[in-house]
Copies of this chain bind each other. A is one copy, B any other.
Amino acid sequence: MLKYQDVAKKIQQAIYQQNLPKGTQLPNIEGLIQQYQVSRTTIIKALNRLERHGVIYQIQGSGIFVRQPKKQGYLNFLESHGFSVDLNDLPGSSQVFNVDVMQPNVKVKEYLQCEDDEYVYYIKRLRLVEGKVYGFEQSYYRKKIVSYLNKEIAENSIFSYVKDICKVNIGFSDKYFKAIKLDEDIAPYLGLNAGDPALCVEEIFYTSSGEPFDFSQIIYHYDNAKFFVQSHSK
Protein backbone atom coordinates (compact mmCIF):
# COMPACT_ATOMS: atom_id res chain seq x y z
CA MET A 1 0.00 0.00 0.00
CA LEU A 2 1.36 3.42 -0.92
CA LYS A 3 1.66 6.07 1.77
CA TYR A 4 -1.21 8.20 0.46
CA GLN A 5 -3.46 5.12 0.34
CA ASP A 6 -2.55 4.38 3.95
CA VAL A 7 -3.34 7.94 5.01
CA ALA A 8 -6.62 7.83 3.07
CA LYS A 9 -7.54 4.61 4.89
CA LYS A 10 -6.76 6.17 8.26
CA ILE A 11 -8.84 9.28 7.56
CA GLN A 12 -11.70 7.10 6.35
CA GLN A 13 -11.52 4.90 9.46
CA ALA A 14 -11.54 7.98 11.67
CA ILE A 15 -14.71 9.21 9.95
CA TYR A 16 -16.53 5.90 10.27
CA GLN A 17 -15.35 5.06 13.78
CA GLN A 18 -16.46 8.46 15.06
CA ASN A 19 -19.64 8.09 13.04
CA LEU A 20 -19.28 11.66 11.77
CA PRO A 21 -22.51 12.87 10.18
CA LYS A 22 -22.76 14.16 6.62
CA GLY A 23 -21.50 17.71 6.28
CA THR A 24 -19.06 17.52 9.21
CA GLN A 25 -16.04 19.65 8.42
CA LEU A 26 -12.66 17.94 8.71
CA PRO A 27 -9.44 19.74 9.67
CA ASN A 28 -7.89 21.68 6.80
CA ILE A 29 -4.84 20.47 4.87
CA GLU A 30 -2.39 22.05 7.34
CA GLY A 31 -4.18 20.32 10.19
CA LEU A 32 -4.10 16.96 8.44
CA ILE A 33 -0.37 17.35 7.65
CA GLN A 34 0.21 17.88 11.38
CA GLN A 35 -2.04 15.05 12.41
CA TYR A 36 -0.69 12.39 10.04
CA GLN A 37 2.89 13.71 9.83
CA VAL A 38 3.13 13.37 6.08
CA SER A 39 3.85 15.74 3.22
CA ARG A 40 1.35 18.10 1.62
CA THR A 41 1.46 16.05 -1.60
CA THR A 42 0.54 12.89 0.31
CA ILE A 43 -2.41 14.60 2.01
CA ILE A 44 -3.65 16.03 -1.28
CA LYS A 45 -3.43 12.63 -2.98
CA ALA A 46 -5.17 10.99 -0.02
CA LEU A 47 -8.00 13.56 -0.11
CA ASN A 48 -8.44 13.14 -3.86
CA ARG A 49 -8.69 9.39 -3.35
CA LEU A 50 -11.31 9.83 -0.64
CA GLU A 51 -13.23 12.20 -2.87
CA ARG A 52 -13.15 9.71 -5.76
CA HIS A 53 -14.39 7.02 -3.39
CA GLY A 54 -17.28 9.14 -2.19
CA VAL A 55 -16.11 9.52 1.41
CA ILE A 56 -15.62 13.30 1.42
CA TYR A 57 -16.20 16.35 -0.73
CA GLN A 58 -13.98 19.38 -0.98
CA ILE A 59 -15.19 22.92 -1.48
CA GLN A 60 -12.51 25.20 -2.79
CA GLY A 61 -11.65 27.93 -0.30
CA SER A 62 -14.13 26.51 2.19
CA GLY A 63 -12.96 23.14 3.41
CA ILE A 64 -13.25 19.37 3.47
CA PHE A 65 -16.54 17.74 4.43
CA VAL A 66 -17.90 14.26 5.17
CA ARG A 67 -20.24 12.79 2.56
CA GLN A 68 -23.40 10.86 3.28
CA PRO A 69 -22.34 7.42 4.44
CA LYS A 70 -23.49 4.56 2.24
CA LYS A 71 -26.73 2.88 3.12
CA GLN A 72 -26.28 -0.36 5.03
CA GLY A 73 -26.38 -3.57 3.09
CA TYR A 74 -25.68 -2.08 -0.34
CA LEU A 75 -22.83 -3.44 -2.42
CA ASN A 76 -20.35 -0.96 -3.82
CA PHE A 77 -20.77 -1.52 -7.54
CA LEU A 78 -17.44 0.02 -8.52
CA GLU A 79 -15.02 -1.22 -5.91
CA SER A 80 -16.19 -4.79 -5.89
CA HIS A 81 -13.88 -6.88 -8.00
CA GLY A 82 -16.74 -8.88 -9.27
CA PHE A 83 -18.02 -9.06 -5.76
CA SER A 84 -17.13 -7.82 -2.33
CA VAL A 85 -18.99 -6.05 0.39
CA ASP A 86 -17.99 -2.57 1.34
CA LEU A 87 -16.94 -0.89 4.56
CA ASN A 88 -19.63 -2.30 6.77
CA ASP A 89 -17.87 -5.58 6.25
CA LEU A 90 -20.76 -7.95 6.11
CA PRO A 91 -19.44 -11.50 6.17
CA GLY A 92 -19.37 -12.84 2.60
CA SER A 93 -18.74 -16.41 1.56
CA SER A 94 -18.78 -18.62 -1.51
CA GLN A 95 -20.19 -22.04 -2.24
CA VAL A 96 -18.05 -23.51 -5.00
CA PHE A 97 -19.59 -26.02 -7.40
CA ASN A 98 -16.67 -26.64 -9.69
CA VAL A 99 -13.20 -25.54 -10.71
CA ASP A 100 -12.48 -27.02 -14.13
CA VAL A 101 -9.87 -26.55 -16.81
CA MET A 102 -11.40 -26.36 -20.27
CA GLN A 103 -11.17 -24.79 -23.68
CA PRO A 104 -13.19 -21.56 -23.77
CA ASN A 105 -16.37 -21.34 -25.81
CA VAL A 106 -16.57 -18.80 -28.63
CA LYS A 107 -17.90 -15.94 -26.46
CA VAL A 108 -15.35 -16.41 -23.69
CA LYS A 109 -12.55 -16.86 -26.20
CA GLU A 110 -13.42 -13.58 -27.83
CA TYR A 111 -13.82 -11.65 -24.57
CA LEU A 112 -10.51 -12.95 -23.24
CA GLN A 113 -8.74 -12.72 -26.62
CA CYS A 114 -7.54 -16.31 -26.25
CA GLU A 115 -5.28 -18.08 -28.73
CA ASP A 116 -6.68 -21.21 -30.38
CA ASP A 117 -4.84 -23.62 -28.10
CA GLU A 118 -5.49 -21.78 -24.83
CA TYR A 119 -7.17 -23.17 -21.75
CA VAL A 120 -9.15 -21.42 -19.07
CA TYR A 121 -10.22 -22.19 -15.51
CA TYR A 122 -13.99 -22.31 -15.32
CA ILE A 123 -15.42 -21.63 -11.86
CA LYS A 124 -19.04 -21.87 -10.88
CA ARG A 125 -19.99 -20.59 -7.43
CA LEU A 126 -22.73 -19.10 -5.35
CA ARG A 127 -21.97 -15.82 -3.57
CA LEU A 128 -23.50 -15.35 -0.16
CA VAL A 129 -23.63 -12.49 2.33
CA GLU A 130 -24.60 -13.34 5.90
CA GLY A 131 -25.79 -16.68 4.60
CA LYS A 132 -28.18 -15.10 2.07
CA VAL A 133 -27.74 -15.88 -1.63
CA TYR A 134 -26.62 -12.77 -3.48
CA GLY A 135 -25.54 -14.10 -6.81
CA PHE A 136 -24.67 -16.99 -9.05
CA GLU A 137 -21.27 -16.53 -10.64
CA GLN A 138 -19.57 -18.17 -13.57
CA SER A 139 -16.04 -17.00 -14.22
CA TYR A 140 -13.23 -17.83 -16.59
CA TYR A 141 -9.55 -17.21 -15.93
CA ARG A 142 -6.88 -17.57 -18.60
CA LYS A 143 -4.54 -20.34 -17.50
CA LYS A 144 -1.55 -18.64 -19.14
CA ILE A 145 -2.00 -15.76 -16.66
CA VAL A 146 -3.54 -17.53 -13.65
CA SER A 147 -1.74 -20.86 -13.92
CA TYR A 148 -3.30 -22.53 -10.89
CA LEU A 149 -6.63 -22.38 -9.07
CA ASN A 150 -8.47 -24.78 -6.79
CA LYS A 151 -11.66 -25.06 -4.75
CA GLU A 152 -10.10 -23.66 -1.60
CA ILE A 153 -8.92 -20.53 -3.39
CA ALA A 154 -12.33 -20.13 -5.03
CA GLU A 155 -14.00 -20.37 -1.62
CA ASN A 156 -12.06 -17.28 -0.61
CA SER A 157 -10.99 -14.31 -2.71
CA ILE A 158 -9.68 -15.31 -6.12
CA PHE A 159 -8.66 -11.70 -6.69
CA SER A 160 -6.48 -11.52 -3.58
CA TYR A 161 -4.82 -14.76 -4.73
CA VAL A 162 -4.34 -13.46 -8.28
CA LYS A 163 -2.80 -10.24 -6.97
CA ASP A 164 -0.75 -11.50 -4.06
CA ILE A 165 0.32 -14.99 -5.14
CA CYS A 166 0.23 -14.87 -8.96
CA LYS A 167 1.59 -11.29 -8.85
CA VAL A 168 -0.82 -10.12 -11.52
CA ASN A 169 -1.21 -6.34 -11.63
CA ILE A 170 -4.91 -5.77 -12.02
CA GLY A 171 -5.48 -2.80 -14.26
CA PHE A 172 -9.05 -2.06 -15.28
CA SER A 173 -12.34 -3.62 -16.24
CA ASP A 174 -15.24 -3.37 -18.66
CA LYS A 175 -18.57 -4.04 -17.02
CA TYR A 176 -21.86 -4.61 -18.83
CA PHE A 177 -25.19 -5.08 -17.10
CA LYS A 178 -28.93 -5.18 -17.47
CA ALA A 179 -32.03 -6.56 -15.81
CA ILE A 180 -33.05 -10.00 -17.09
CA LYS A 181 -35.71 -12.68 -16.66
CA LEU A 182 -34.27 -15.74 -14.94
CA ASP A 183 -34.31 -18.95 -16.95
CA GLU A 184 -35.06 -22.32 -15.42
CA ASP A 185 -31.39 -23.33 -15.30
CA ILE A 186 -30.22 -20.44 -13.12
CA ALA A 187 -33.35 -19.69 -11.05
CA PRO A 188 -32.94 -22.70 -8.69
CA TYR A 189 -29.43 -21.58 -7.69
CA LEU A 190 -30.95 -18.35 -6.38
CA GLY A 191 -33.97 -20.02 -4.85
CA LEU A 192 -36.21 -18.18 -7.33
CA ASN A 193 -38.53 -19.11 -10.17
CA ALA A 194 -38.00 -18.92 -13.91
CA GLY A 195 -39.30 -15.53 -15.07
CA ASP A 196 -38.30 -13.74 -11.87
CA PRO A 197 -36.11 -10.65 -12.32
CA ALA A 198 -32.36 -10.56 -11.80
CA LEU A 199 -29.47 -8.26 -12.48
CA CYS A 200 -26.97 -9.77 -14.90
CA VAL A 201 -23.47 -8.27 -14.71
CA GLU A 202 -20.73 -9.31 -17.12
CA GLU A 203 -17.24 -8.03 -16.54
CA ILE A 204 -13.90 -8.40 -18.29
CA PHE A 205 -10.85 -7.71 -16.16
CA TYR A 206 -7.54 -6.63 -17.64
CA THR A 207 -4.02 -6.60 -16.26
CA SER A 208 -2.34 -3.23 -16.01
CA SER A 209 -0.65 -3.97 -19.32
CA GLY A 210 -4.04 -4.33 -20.99
CA GLU A 211 -4.30 -8.12 -21.26
CA PRO A 212 -7.72 -9.57 -20.41
CA PHE A 213 -7.39 -12.35 -17.81
CA ASP A 214 -10.85 -12.88 -16.31
CA PHE A 215 -14.37 -12.90 -17.67
CA SER A 216 -17.12 -13.17 -15.05
CA GLN A 217 -20.87 -13.28 -15.25
CA ILE A 218 -22.81 -12.79 -12.05
CA ILE A 219 -26.59 -13.12 -11.90
CA TYR A 220 -27.78 -11.26 -8.81
CA HIS A 221 -30.83 -12.07 -6.71
CA TYR A 222 -33.25 -9.18 -7.30
CA ASP A 223 -34.37 -8.93 -3.71
CA ASN A 224 -31.13 -9.59 -1.85
CA ALA A 225 -28.54 -7.72 -3.90
CA LYS A 226 -28.72 -3.92 -3.90
CA PHE A 227 -26.01 -1.65 -5.17
CA PHE A 228 -24.74 1.86 -4.81
CA VAL A 229 -22.38 4.09 -6.74
CA GLN A 230 -21.06 7.35 -5.40
CA SER A 231 -19.91 9.59 -8.18
CA HIS A 232 -18.51 13.06 -8.40
CA SER A 233 -18.34 15.40 -11.30
CA LYS A 234 -14.57 15.76 -11.54
Residues of A within 8 A of B (CB): 22-23, 54, 57, 59, 62, 65, 67-68, 70-71, 74, 77-78, 170-181, 195-199, 204, 206, 208-210, 220, 222, 225-233
- Find out whether the CB atom of B62 lies under 8 angstroms from the CB atom of A176: no
10 new A-B contacts at CB < 8 Å, known A23-B210, A59-B209, A78-B229 = A57-B172, A57-B206, A68-B204, A71-B176, A173-B230, A177-B229, A178-B225, A179-B197, A199-B199, A208-B233
- Find out whether the CB atom of A177 lies under 8 angstroms from the CB atom of B222: no
- Find out whether the CB atom of A57 lies under 8 angstroms from the CB atom of B171: yes
Please name all residues of chain B whose beta carbon is closer than 8 Å to the beta carbon of A231 when the two chains form the complex.
78, 172-173, 175
Q: With both chains docked as a complex, state the minimum distance between the C-beta of A176 and any C-beta of chain B, in angstroms.
A: 5
- Report if A222-B197 is in contact (Cβ < 8 Å); known contacts: A172-B230, A231-B175: yes
- Sample 24 A-B pairs with CB under 8 A, ordered by A number: A57-B171, A57-B172, A57-B206, A65-B210, A70-B174, A74-B176, A77-B177, A172-B230, A172-B232, A172-B233, A173-B231, A174-B228, A174-B229, A175-B229, A175-B230, A175-B231, A176-B226, A177-B226, A177-B229, A179-B199, A179-B220, A179-B222, A180-B197, A197-B197
Q: With both chains docked as a complex, state the minimum distance between the C-beta of A228 and any C-beta of chain B, in angstroms.
A: 5
Please name all residues of chain B whose beta carbon is closer than 8 Å to the beta carbon of A78 when the two chains form the complex.
229, 231
User: How many angstroms from the CA of A174 to the CA of B76 in the assembled complex?
Assistant: 11
User: How many angstroms from the CA of A199 to the CA of B159 in the assembled complex?
Assistant: 28
User: How many angstroms from the CA of A62 to the CA of B228 in the assembled complex?
Assistant: 35
Q: With both chains docked as a complex, state the minimum distance between the C-beta of A63 and any C-beta of chain B, in angstroms.
A: 10
User: How many angstroms from the CA of A208 to the CA of B23 in the assembled complex?
Assistant: 12
Q: B77, B171, B197: which contacts A198 (Cβ < 8 A)?
A: B197
Please name all residues of chain B whose beta carbon is closer than 8 Å to the beta carbon of A222 when the two chains form the complex.
178-181, 197
- Find out whether the CB atom of A178 lies under 8 angstroms from the CB atom of B195: no
Please name all residues of chain B whose beta carbon is closer than 8 Å to the beta carbon of A233 when the two chains form the complex.
170-172, 208
User: How many angstroms from the CA of A67 to the CA of B195 in the assembled complex?
Assistant: 36
Please name all residues of chain B whose beta carbon is closer than 8 Å to the beta carbon of A179 when the two chains form the complex.
179-180, 197-199, 220, 222
By beta carbon, the residue of chain B nearest A169 is B233
Please name all residues of chain B whose beta carbon is closer than 8 Å to the beta carbon of A199 when the two chains form the complex.
178-179, 199
